[in-house]
Each structure stands twice: as structure tokens, then as C-alpha cells.
Chains A and B, each alone.
Chain A
Amino acid sequence: MCGWSVMRAEPGRSPVSRGRRSLLKHGGALALLAACGLVEARRAYARDGVAMFDATTMREVLARLGGEPAADGKVVLVIDEVIENGGMVPVSVECRLDAVEEILLIVEGNPAPVAVRFGIPAGTEPFVSTRLKLAQSGRVHAVARANGRLHVASRDTQVTVGACS
């Protein structure tokens, strides 16, 4: 189930992280959950991707993506590891993939993890850069969908002063 490092928390980091890790241990149940949500999520998603933004947990994000992203090195996510000001964090994503349809940036430590979704039309390079708010330290993920397959790159961040604090 877990090529996606979202569910792989570092040992002893926080109760939340441990919770996520136990989720990983129960990967079978999670897979079932994802499968159940798949059809509905795809349907909702097909409209314009808006449903993604309602997700408040990583589990919901995963279900709404409608699949399991592969951490296969095809996506390159550039973000500082140590961030003093969480209010304005430069982020860029580049994909070594053809036919990328969309790129999502997901911030695990934010109340609503899905930060932004880019639709990439044919003729546009699978590259985007922007600036995000990070509420606290945690993982940031860039997910790309290409030819119906999901790919991901993840980075850990340490935020000194979070956005909104």
C-alpha cells in the first residue's frame, strides 16, 4: 500500500505521526477504504478537482486522489528544509514525465492539506513554482497525475514560525 511516503512517519515525532504509522500497519484496511472511496472520489474529482480541497486529513486526501501515488523519482520537489517564516515559502515542482495533467501541492501540517492544484494543458511544461503558507513543521508533497497514474515527491520541513501564528 505504501509506496507513498505520506503514511511513513518518522519514529517518535508526535502522537499524530504515530497515528499515521499505525495507519500504515493497517494498510489493508486503508486500501479497502481507498478502493471504496475511489469511484465516488473520481466522480467528484472529474468536475474540477474542487473536492480535493475539502480534505482535512491525509487519509481523505489519499481517498480523493483516487489512487496510490508512486514515489518513483519522476517528480522533483524543491523546498527549503529549514524554514524561518512559514508565511511565504518558495516551492517548485518539476516532473520527468510526459502528458502531466495536473500537479498538486499538499502540506501535511496545514488544517486543510491540499494547498493548490495546477491544471497542466498540453503544450505547458510539467513545471510550476509558487509560494505557500506552512502552519507548522511537517511533510510537503508534490503529486503529479500523468496518463492516469499518480507520482509523488515528498520533503520534510522544519518551520520556525508558522503561518497564522
Chain B
Amino acid sequence: MTDPIRIRARSKGDLTEVLVLMPHPMETGLRKDAAGALVEAHFITDVRVTTGGRTVLDARMSIAVSQDPLLGFRFRGGRPGDRISVTWTDNKGETRTDETVIA
């Protein structure tokens, strides 16, 4: 199982600044291992960030997003204490959801 998603969400006036780090190998399927064999593709394809039942960001990713994808964005309407949840799904159908509270 992969490591937990790290989420930092800070309220600044009306804006909430969010930084998300999703530990994931993001294997392209193009890389060879030490023995010269191709390493199977394994990468996050979809990410959804929600708070209070609404989506505040969704992302569709390819193999071109770096290992341990990082996402930064800002949205309006969040308040300190609100829960914010991040879910990713990868090309093998694995999924992970973590959440935090807006600071």
C-alpha cells in the first residue's frame, strides 16, 4: 500500500491555499530496470479534491507527471475547520483517499 497523501490547506481570507503530495512511483512503462527489463507502467490517472460535498479540483494525469505528484491550487469559500479530501486512482485501479482540516 502506498503512503498517505499529504495535504496542507490554509485559509487566507476568502481563499484557501492547498498543496497536495501523493506518494506514488508514477512509472512510465518506458523505463528499464537494472536487468534491462521494462518496468510496468504504474501511474495515477485521476485525482479529485473535494470539500463540503463539492469538487474544488480534478486532474487527469499522464505518465508525464513526476514521481510523487505535487499539486498546488487555491479556491474560494473554504473555512478553517472544514474537511478537505483528496482521492487518487491509478492505472491499475488502485485508489487512495486521505483528508485533512483546513487550517
Docked Cα-Cα span, A29 to B59, in Å, equals 33
Contact, CB under 8 Å: B60 / A116: yes
**Contact present for B66 and A131 (CB under 8 Å):** yes
Interface size on B, residues (CB 8 A): 27
Q: Assess A118 versus B57: contact at CB under 8 Å? Given A124-B73, A133-B28.
A: yes
Contact digits for B8-21, partner A, Cβ 8 Å, 1 yes 0 no: 00000001000000
Check B71 against A129 for contact (C-beta < 8 Å): yes
19 new A-B pairs (CB below 8 Å) besides A124-B56, A127-B73? A88-B66, A112-B62, A117-B59, A118-B58, A119-B58, A121-B55, A123-B54, A123-B75, A123-B76, A123-B77, A124-B57, A124-B76, A125-B15, A125-B76, A130-B72, A131-B70, A132-B65, A133-B65, A133-B66
Q: How far is the CA of A93 from the CA of B64 in the complex (A)?
A: 16
Q: Interface size class for chain A?
A: 20 to 34
| Interface residues, chain A, with chain B CB atoms under 8 Å away | 48-50, 53, 87-89, 92, 107, 110-112, 114-121, 123-125, 127-134, 163-164
Contacts of B62 in A (CB 8 A): 53, 112, 114-116
- Least CB distance from B53 to A in Å reads 12
Smallest Cβ-Cβ distance to B77: which chain A residue: A123
B65 contact set on A, CB distance < 8 A: 115-116, 130-133
A120 engages B57 (CB within 8 Å): yes
Among all A-B residue pairs, the 6 with the closest Cβ atoms: A115-B64, A129-B72, A131-B66, A119-B58, A124-B75, A125-B74
Residues of A within 8 A of B15 (CB): 125
Cα–Cα distance between A156 and B7 once the two chains are bound (Å) = 32
B60 shortest CB reach to chain A, Å: 5
Q: List 27 A-B contacts (CB under 8 A).
A: A48-B60, A50-B60, A88-B67, A111-B30, A115-B64, A117-B59, A118-B73, A119-B55, A119-B60, A121-B54, A121-B55, A121-B56, A123-B54, A123-B56, A123-B76, A124-B56, A125-B15, A125-B74, A128-B71, A128-B72, A129-B72, A130-B71, A132-B65, A133-B28, A133-B63, A133-B64, A163-B66
CB of B9, distance to nearest CB on chain A (Å): 13
Residue among B30, B58, B73 making CB contact with A164, cutoff 8 Å: B30
Smallest beta-carbon distance A9→chain B, Å: 21
Q: In the complex the two chains form, is B60's CB within 8 Å of A53's CB?
A: yes
Whether B6 is near chain A, meaning CB under 8 Å from some CB there, is no
